[in-house]
Amino acid sequence: MDALWGIVASVGHAIEQVFVYVESHHWLFGFLGLGYIFYLQDRSLHARFDALDKRVDEIRKRLAVEY
């Protein structure tokens, strides 16, 4: 039983160390989160422009066929 309790205590201590690291380096994770948000926004913006380009190309093809 002591061995099991020692394992549980070790896991608890490891989790506590992770929380201490995150608490002391919260600004790093904030920058990473902010960068990821900008990355997703950039992807969304590029996807919209790509869709717009496809629509413009479709319109140009239709106009070229009609005339």
pLDDT at 67: 60
Q: State pLDDT tens for residues 22-35.
A: 888 888 888 989 99
Q: State pLDDT tens for residues 39-59.
A: 999 999 999 999 999 999 999
Number of folded domains that form the chain: 1
Print the domain residue range for 42.
Answer: 2-66
**What DSSP assignment string belongs to 4-55?**
HHHHHHHHHHHHHHHHHHHHHTHHHHHHHHHHHHHHHHHHHHHHHHHHHHHH
| Global confidence as pTM | 0.51
Q: What is the mean pLDDT of residues 10-29?
A: 91
